[in-house]
């Protein structure tokens, strides 16, 4: 298989390139060259936000294109227009954020979508930008040759958002840790490597249309995630489980100040951790245990000195130690 990845050196794009080269595919990656390329892939230089930024793609043909773009939709439009006659399928890694707020518990790919998105738009806000990217892919490749991967929370090695790396770093420091409860809170996420493998399988099967791409509901719990962090780091951390009312009463922001966690029984929890993923599971999605995701992320984090580079277009995550200590009464 001949695969073109637009990006391919960070997180999701990198995982796709690594998985494809591991399968022996002929992989080309177009990017700005700001990060080390994946061995075994052909590298092309180009900045899709600049004039003539796609010039390196003037020639060539591919069985599929994978695009993880999350800013101005017109960048997806330009790439899709350029490649529609020379690529068999356009895979756009989108987001469950494209659903109109607030999606109901167990929402499927047929749930209502955000309004106001456009394929030729400049950058606006994340949900509309991702929806605009979907529209751009379908606009050039049609519904039968475009695949919309509506991912949710993505974790794993090379994470450039900082959610799991923050938890690992915090727990590695040891001592009392504010653990937002309840322990049995169900989580829904996908290991970036499982996401990549599903994408490649979908390309082989010539799948099209939208797919919610996360683990089945309750694949792991908040307790299992943080327990795995304690085991992986080998620290003396003491998880002090704290009720949602106490956490919220302290003014702590779910999802950002306490990454991954959102309180149960809320629209936010249903949107992030309660999607119907039966369509993806039926087409080959397999999710590894949370212990493997956590251990491998910790190993990667240690290999780069313990500090991961965060994408500048994403908000900082993590809780101020002083706030944590106050809530715990230390």
Q: First CA to last CA across the chain, in angstroms? A: 57
Q: How many structural domains comprise the chain?
A: 2
Residue 64 inside a domain? The answer is: yes
CATH code: domain of residue 264: 3.90.25
Looking at the fold, whether 94 and 128 belong to one and the same domain comes out as yes
Is residue 156 within 8 A of residue 297, CB to CB? The reply is: yes
CA distances in angstroms from 12 to 6, 20, 76, 192, 312, listed in the order given? 11, 12, 16, 6, 16
User: What's the pLDDT at 317?
Assistant: 94
Looking at the fold, whether 100 and 7 belong to one and the same domain comes out as yes
Give the tens place of pLDDT for each residue, 79-105. Answer: 999 999 999 999 999 999 999 999 999
Looking at the fold, whether 11 and 137 belong to one and the same domain comes out as yes
Q: What is the mean pLDDT of residues 207-227?
A: 97
Give the tens place of pLDDT for each residue, 42-61. Answer: 999 999 999 999 999 999 99
Q: What is the DSSP letter of 215?
A: P
Instruction: Write down the H helix ranges in 33-117.
Output: 73-83
Hey, what are 142's tokens?
């049609």
Q: What is the DSSP letter of 25?
A: -
Q: What is the mean pLDDT of residues 223-244?
A: 98
Looking at the fold, whether 88 and 174 belong to one and the same domain comes out as no
Q: What is the mean pLDDT of residues 190-204?
A: 98
For residue 107, what are the domain limits? 2-151
Q: Which of 105, 126, 151 is the last residue of a domain?
A: 151
User: What's the pLDDT at 302?
Assistant: 96
Angle, helices 163-173/222-233, rounded to nearest 10 degrees: 60
Looking at the fold, whether 176 and 244 belong to one and the same domain comes out as yes
What is the pLDDT confidence band of residue 311, given thresholds at 50, 70 and 90?
Answer: confident
Residue 72 has pLDDT above 80, yes or no: yes
Is residue 251 within 8 A of residue 179, CB to CB? The reply is: no
Sign of CA pseudo-dihedral 56, 119, 131, 125 = positive
**Phi, psi torsion values for 121, nearest 5 degrees:** -80, 155
Residue 252 inside a domain? The answer is: yes
**Phi, psi torsion values for 110, nearest 5 degrees:** -95, 0
% of the chain with per-residue pLDDT over 70: 100
């Amino acid at each position: 298989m001949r695969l073109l990845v637009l990006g391919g050196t960070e997180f999701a794009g990198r995982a796709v390139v690594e998985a494809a080269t591991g399968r022996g595919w002929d992989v080309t990656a177009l990017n700005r060259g700001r990060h080390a390329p994946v061995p075994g892939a052909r590298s092309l230089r180009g900045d899709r936000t600049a004039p003539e930024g796609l010039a390196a793609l003037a020639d060539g043909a591919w069985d599929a294109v994978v695009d993880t773009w999350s800013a101005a939709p017109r960048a997806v439009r330009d790439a899709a227009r350029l490649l529609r006659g020379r690529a068999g399928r356009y895979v756009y890694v989108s987001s469950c954020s494209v659903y109109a707020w607030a999606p109901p518990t167990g929402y499927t790919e047929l749930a209502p979508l955000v309004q106001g998105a456009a394929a030729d738009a400049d950058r606006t806000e994340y949900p509309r930008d991702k929806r605009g990217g979907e529209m751009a892919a379908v606009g050039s490749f049609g519904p039968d040759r475009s695949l919309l991967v509506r991912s949710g929370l993505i974790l794993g090695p090379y994470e450039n958002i900082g959610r799991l790396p923050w938890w690992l770093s915090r727990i590695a420091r040891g001592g009392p840790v504010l653990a937002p409860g309840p322990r049995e809170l169900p989580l829904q996420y996908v290991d970036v490597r499982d996401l990549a493998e599903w994408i490649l399988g979908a390309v082989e099967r010539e799948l099209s249309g939208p797919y919610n791409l996360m683990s089945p509901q309750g694949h792991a719990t908040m307790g299992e995630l943080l327990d795995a962090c304690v085991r992986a780091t080998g620290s003396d951390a003491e998880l002090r489980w704290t009720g949602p009312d106490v956490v919220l009463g302290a003014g702590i922001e779910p999802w950002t100040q306490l990454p991954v966690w959102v309180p149960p029984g809320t629209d936010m929890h249903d949107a992030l951790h309660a999607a119907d993923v039966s369509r993806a599971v039926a087409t080959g999605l397999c999710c590894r245990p949370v212990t493997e995701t956590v251990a491998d992320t910790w190993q990667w984090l240690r290999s780069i000195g313990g500090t991961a580079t965060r994408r500048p277009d994403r908000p900082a995550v993590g809780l101020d130690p002083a706030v944590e200590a106050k809530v715990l009464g230390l």
